Amino acid sequence: MRIPILKLNQYLLISIQTELDDQTALQFQEDLLGKIHEEGSNGVVIDLTSVDMIDSFIAKVLGDVVDMSSLMGARVVLTGIRPAVAITLIDMGIKLEGVSTALDLEQGLASLQQELEG
């Protein structure tokens, strides 16, 4: 299955509400980069509110997607990381360095707007 990517003005919004298996995560990576290219988006919010668990592979894919989007000129903000997910990531030594985060979708969008629109 594919994760839907919404376009709102120049931004892309993604809410991950499914268990991210390896194949879905890689498909999402490809879809998102394609969509950034296609729509000329300069900002992306990935909302993880509904994600209960992230393993090291998924964390790597998410980190990579942020770096890849950045290379393409799009800023990514991760939002809604749950306590359990934050705990697991740090326990696994995964820091998602250089990745912007925010509490929820609204604040993620606000943070993009502030950064990109000044």
Q: Which residues bind its own copies (CB under 8 A)?
A: 1-9, 13, 15-18, 47, 50, 104-106, 109
Nearest approach in angstroms of CB 11 to its own copies is 10
Gap between the Cα atoms of 83 and 10, Å rounded: 30
4, 8, 65, 91, 117 from 86: Cα distances, Å: 24, 28, 18, 8, 29
What phi, psi does 12 have (nearest 5°)?
A: -110, 135
Nearest approach in angstroms of CB 16 to its own copies is 8
Nearest approach in angstroms of CB 6 to its own copies is 5
CB nearer its own copies, residue 9 or residue 71 = 9
CB nearer its own copies, residue 27 or residue 70 = 27
**Burial grade of 1 (CB within 10 A; 0-12, 13-18, 19 or more):** exposed
CB nearer its own copies, residue 16 or residue 78 = 16
